[in-house]
Amino acid sequence: MAKKKLPMTIAIIPDGNRRWARAHKLSILKSYNNGVKKFVEFSEWCRAYGIRNVTVWAFSSENIKRSKEEINALFYIYKKAATSKSLASRLHKTQTRIKIIGNRQMLPKDLIRSLSKLEKETEGYKDGIINVLIGYGGREDLIHSVKYLANHATLKIKDIEKEFEKHLISNQIPNIDFIIRTSGEKRLSGFMPWQTGYSELYFSKKLWPDFTKKDLSNALNDYNNRQRRFGR
């Protein structure tokens, strides 16, 4: 697919896993397992198009309100993925770095260890980056930085914006060019408020496990036809 322009940074809000499970009369565990596999495919599709910085919202801070059964299933799947030799082999082969962004205290200790190990093993890679938001909330992100500024009242006015950005939980993630949200929901739900001020948004009706490479192609075609003005 020839492209005049592509996003340098792309993010996916993979919504619709529970609805997919109900529609197919399958367990939530099976649905989330398919969802994780879909993201691995999605990141590889992005790479094939030359998009090297991909962000996924894997677990929001508000998701902790869901049923214990669902949360345990999700954490089980994430640990399984983090310890997968197949996934690690793919990351090493493609020289892709994993970054874990969020409040790790919300996660089970064994999951933290597995994710941190994968993060450490890939930290030297530069060909691609996958940012995994887990235990992340947009409001908490902003408040985290505000608390720092409140404790450093001697900062010069000219340094406030730079210091604010520096002390975000998500400070390692650049501005997002393009956000895709699946399942037909048309909102960001607090997704990375600092980095998304001028993001282009695309809402797909597909439930996340049903999202295909063709759907990504359609989204990128839509992006290609937009004129980004950045307030100008």
* Alpha-carbon gap, residue 12 to 52, rounded angstroms: 14
Specify whether 159 is catalytic. Answer: no
- Taken in order 126, 130, 135, 141, the sign of the CA dihedral is positive
User: Six-digit token pair at 80?
Assistant: 């399984």
Contact call for residues 127 and 95 (beta carbons, < 8 A): yes
Contact call for residues 96 and 129 (beta carbons, < 8 A): yes
Contact call for residues 78 and 58 (beta carbons, < 8 A): yes
Specify whether 15 is catalytic. Answer: yes
Catalytic residue among 33, 34, 53, 63: 63
User: Six-digit token pair at 155?
Assistant: 């900062």
Which residues are tagged catalytic?
Answer: 15, 63
